[in-house]
Amino acid sequence: MPGTLIGMVGASPQKVAVFGAGYVGLVTGACLASLGHRVIVRDVLADRIEALRRGDVPIYEPGLDELIAGNAERLRFTTDVAEAIEGADIVYIAVGTPPTYSGDADLSAVWTVVDELPQIERRTVVVMKSTVPVGTGEKVRHRLDERGLQHVGYASNPEFTAEGTAIRDFLGPDRIVIGSFRDEDGEAVEALHGGVDGPVVRCDVASAEMIKLAANAALMTRISFINEIANVCEATGADVVRVAEGIGLDRRIGPAFLRAGIGFGGSCFPKDSLALKQLAANSGYHFQLLNAVIEVNELQKRRVIGKLHSHLGPLRGKTVTLLGLAFKPHTDDIREAPSLVLAGRLLAEGADVRSWDPVVDGTALHGVEIADSPEAAAAGADALVLVTEWPQLADVDWVAVGATMRNRLLIDGRNMLDPETLRSAGFVYEGIGRGPGTGGGS
Ligand code: UDX
Ligand code: UDX
């Protein structure tokens, strides 16, 4: 088993199969093709594969369409397992691992892929890109051995790509983490990343699995921390934006992931925090800090409702507009987005809910009216809630928008807008953690 070491990588074209044409699989496939590898992406969804063959990319990720089109000669798509595996040096698993009812990761799609691998004759390495509980690699190794695939290698190569910047994150990573049982398997994955400039962390499989979960947990902890500081700022009259700036300049702390707001969402943080919590609990450990991080985040999403109450009283019959639905800008992903909790709570309170988002198709939000511009969404509303900090919102003419509203109230769930601009446009402006006189309550 290799120890942890850090080095730089070299290059050589390989044949790569990627199982799963979702956010992670497509980015992985397209980026590896751009590095010169021959890539085939396999998915069970025939419609998705058909669309990709026509050049229609099923997800919104900046730069992905161009990367797929630009590398078409080295990038193919299929639903056929045998075609995908034929001649493959490396087989990536990038299927989804959503939470089960218990909070554990649902690995059924991973096992489906492992079980549908044919009797590969050549030396191939199966590489786990999907986020999985620590110990999964050990189990997959065992299953491969049981199936007579001892010669097939196994490595864990977790993804650290954030949606919206996934291509940049893949091709210019902070680090590449590769865990393997055998050195040669880790070396094969390292060689695949030739041309990617970033430090490589080589380690055992369990540590690689834990690095992914721990990195996400660390980032979530920072967000819940700054959100709690924001809540105390609100109670005491400080401005969390200034506070975050002031503490972030401490080199030991750093400025990233200190943006207070209405909580984290997305396909990774919520499910990975639950998975790590369950992983610890299943091993007999109560992960107290992580439990608190999760609880703070749940409460944070609901604080906006309290703010609306304090300004509007009962919400029955009031029109509330959500500006942005995606869990963050530059993606069409609404998995675990705070907008879903907000819309659900508002509808339950009897409010009429409207929304605008530049890329999300909001039809999945039942009962929410969808408008095609922030202006149209705001007309006649009693309150606006800025949910996603889309750059388009920086260009809105708030004086004109305010003139069309029944009541000029804006709750800025991302502290994106300038409080003074809104106030001089006649709005009651409230951010998150920005006490009165600092950008907080009117
Ligand atoms: C990924 C990871 O795999 C997950 O573990 C990580 O934590 C977040 O990102 P993502 O790419 O976002 O998931 O998932 P999704 O967009 O749902 O795509 C998964 C794809 O796998 C889908 O297109 C689905 O059809 C496909 N799939 C699923 C298969 O091809 N085979 C299966 O057996 C199951
Ligand atoms: C995350 C990780 O960053 C990435 O490394 C991993 O591979 C997948 O999960 P992603 O979920 O795409 O990426 O987005 P990220 O930018 O991390 O944001 C996650 C959530 O945290 C968003 O809802 C965002 O609004 C929120 N957030 C982020 C804050 O509330 N405050 C911050 O300071 C930063």
CA 286, chain centre distance (Å): 25
**Strand pairing partners for 201?**
6, 177
* CB of 324 closer than 8 Å to CB of 389: yes
Nearest atom in ligand 2 to the alpha carbon of residue 328 is 25
Q: Among 31, 203, 233, 268, which one carries the catalytic annotation?
A: 268
How far does the chain reach from its first CA to its final CA, in angstroms? Answer: 60
Contacts of residue 341, defined as CB under 8 A and 6 or more positions apart, other chains included, come to 301, 302
The number of the ligand nearest the C-alpha atom of 115 reads 1
Residues listed for the chain = 442
Give the residue-averaged pLDDT of 255-262: 98
Give the residue-averaged pLDDT of 171-197: 97
Predicted local confidence at residue 44, as pLDDT: 98
Model confidence at 437, pLDDT cuts 50, 70, 90, reads: low
pLDDT of 119-136, one tens digit each? 999 899 999 999 999 999
Regarding the beta carbon of 24 and ligand 1, being less than 6 Å apart is answered yes
Predicted local confidence at residue 1, as pLDDT: 35
Regarding the beta carbon of 225 and ligand 2, being less than 6 Å apart is answered no
How far, in Å, from the CA of 264 to the mean position of ligand 2? 7
For ligand 1, atom 24, which residue shows the shortest CA distance?
20
Nearest atom in ligand 1 to the alpha carbon of residue 131 is 5
pLDDT of 327-353, one tens digit each? 999 999 999 999 999 999 999 999 999
pLDDT of 8-51, one tens digit each? 344 589 999 999 999 999 999 999 999 999 999 999 999 999 99
**Strand pairing partners for 17?**
40, 91
**Strand pairing partners for 105?**
99
Predicted local confidence at residue 436, as pLDDT: 65
The share of the chain scoring above pLDDT 90, in percent, equals 92
152, pLDDT greater than 80: yes
Model confidence at 378, pLDDT cuts 50, 70, 90, reads: very high
The number of the ligand nearest the C-alpha atom of 211 reads 2
pLDDT of 276-334, one tens digit each? 999 999 999 999 999 999 999 999 999 999 999 999 999 999 999 999 999 999 999 99
From 176, 136, 144, select the one nearest 159 (Cα to Cα).
176
For ligand 1, atom 34, which residue shows the shortest CA distance?
109
* CB of 413 closer than 8 Å to CB of 263: no
Regarding the beta carbon of 266 and ligand 1, being less than 6 Å apart is answered no
**Measured between alpha carbons, how far is 427 from 398 in angstroms, rounded to an integer?**
9
Nearest atom in ligand 2 to the alpha carbon of residue 215 is 5
Active site residue 268: yes
How far, in Å, from the CA of 232 to the mean position of ligand 1? 39
Predicted local confidence at residue 176, as pLDDT: 98
Nearest atom in ligand 2 to the alpha carbon of residue 165 is 12
Instruction: Record the pTM.
Output: 0.93
For ligand 2, atom 31, which residue shows the shortest CA distance?
259
